[in-house]
Chains A and B, each alone.
Chain A
């Protein structure tokens, strides 16, 4: 059983929809991350939060809007997405951000944009 839980596991949305991905970690970590995973590409870091503060935005388009209300919860709000945004979105947590420590990943939210 993973210590990082993501919902929903699958999401299909049209380009004009607004939806949100949710991530919750039960590990007592202080840093949380969103990654995008596309086929045959490296994991792409999108956002980093450390102690609820955003410390990194990796040039992500504004149609992706993260929210971190506390160290245990992370959201990714989606609006007016494009078909190329279809991918697996992975949430991760670690003790501290930007450290040489283990990332704990959730199982991901598979997003399909029609």
Chain B
């Protein structure tokens, strides 16, 4: 069960857009439409922001969007705000009932 690859950090200024990539393999990201994304403020419970690649749960800002191409999924956050500063994790179903996370990306709002 390999870890999905995410950039360690991304940054952007308020109002800008950023994209976080999540690269897996044909055994996980590329094989299932089951990539999810989580926002994690340290010390708090992680929060689901995208599921099934591009679906947004009720109550999550439409500034968050998700997509996938081949073995790589992406999270785009538009109109950056200070409160978006957090760690972001992707997760994919990997078959046989197992799940695998990315290493996480620290978003800094400049």
**A joins B in a complex:** no
